[in-house]
Amino acid sequence: MICEALRIVLQCLESHANRYGRYIVPLLSLSADFYVRLVVRVLSGKAKVKETFTKVSIVYQCVGCETVTLHPMGRIITNKKSIKHQVSQGPPVAQSCVHCGHRHIIGGPIWSAPIHNRTS
């Protein structure tokens, strides 16, 4: 994956903002050499904080071919009358890689939502 460091830092920022009933909207994310630069907007909203787990994923990476699979930590189910926040179920990958047969390693959580916002 390109820009893993950006996604790790964004997840950390989101986690810290959530502790205070806030959430982040990444506006611009840059990575050059050994540093990252992020521009984020911090907003308040308890309802949006509950949606955070849909923006964060666990990473499964094959040790052979380095294929990456993201597994969101949760999902939102919307009915006509209600909104349910549900935890994801089961790993999205088999025990061995379907491409090369090697095992997977697990990492994360990382930010899996877009790292730039073109509208703001």
Phi, psi (deg, nearest 5) at residue 69? -125, 130
Looking at per-residue confidence, does 89 or 13 come out higher? 13
pLDDT tens-place string over residues 79-113: 888 888 888 888 889 999 999 999 999 998 999 99
Structure tokens at 59: 């990473």
pTM for the full predicted model: 0.87
The pLDDT, as a whole number, for residue 61 is 94
Other Cβ atoms closer than 10 A to 13: 17
What's the average model confidence in pLDDT over 7-30? 95
